[in-house]
Amino acid sequence: MADKVAGSKRGLNAGVQVFAAVVLVAGVTGGGWGLSRVLPKSGTDEPATCADGHGTASAKRVSGAQLCRALNRSDLPVLLGTPDEHARTADGDDGWITLDGGARMASPEANVTLKTYCVKLSASEDRFSVSQGLDLLPKAEPRQILGHPAVLYSDRTTTLTLDSGKDENGPGGVARSLLVAKDVKDGGGSFEISVWRQDDVAPDDAALFRVAELVLPTVPGWKSG
């Protein structure tokens, strides 16, 4: 039986023959979702640490490595309600999204996986306000995070299993996401935090809010007040 693991995008390890990944159905706004990074568990039982990231970042925008360092806190398992666990994988990526007309937009993201939870943090530099997500995202609900406009919504995950070159898709669990404006005026640009469970049980919204309230103020580009 293949293990389920999840993270951010990356080429698959050539030595991995049988594995499964959780894929979140692509959202309308925010960081964009794709095939999860699949990493074999380390031979040690030490918490995973963030690498320097992949791709080329700019001093004018947050990098995947910076997002990873902000997300991969030592108290993340406590915030998620699983204090006996630790990060199994932690990684950041400096990806890009090609928009209509050929324009490219930076789409940095970070993923941290534990035994129970997967957490993703992404950043967007687009001009859309978070409040527009109420009309675009499925069953979105208005929220506030530390005075910043936010939108809470759900999406479905899909389990993708690769076994000796064959792949099969199946229904997964629910992911809960918070799309949060970078500033209190909601003038464009956002961060998105999503959590989902490896066992397909519905994630805890309280855990999602705890993570958002402590992680986001530590991310470069967050504007308080």
Q: Which domain holds residue 136?
A: 48-154+175-218
Could you tell me if residue 113 is inside a domain? yes
Could you tell me if residue 101 is inside a domain? yes
Q: How far apart are CA 130 and CA 191, in angstroms?
A: 10
What is the pLDDT confidence band of residue 98, given thresholds at 50, 70 and 90? confident
Could you tell me if residue 16 is inside a domain? no
pLDDT over threshold 90, residue 1: no
Q: pTM of the predicted model, to two decimals? A: 0.78
Q: How far apart are CA 61 and CA 173, in angstroms?
A: 32
Could you tell me if residue 15 is inside a domain? no
Could you tell me if residue 32 is inside a domain? no
What is the pLDDT confidence band of residue 147, given thresholds at 50, 70 and 90? very high
Question: To the nearest whole number, what is the mean pLDDT of the chain?
Answer: 78
Q: What percentage of the chain has pLDDT greater than the value 70?
A: 70
125 or 90, greater pLDDT: 90
Could you tell me if residue 204 is inside a domain? yes
Provide the domain count of the chain.
1
Residue 103, judged by CB atoms within 10 A of its CB (0-12, 13-18, 19+), counts as exposed
Could you tell me if residue 192 is inside a domain? yes
Could you tell me if residue 86 is inside a domain? yes
Largest CA distance in the chain: 53
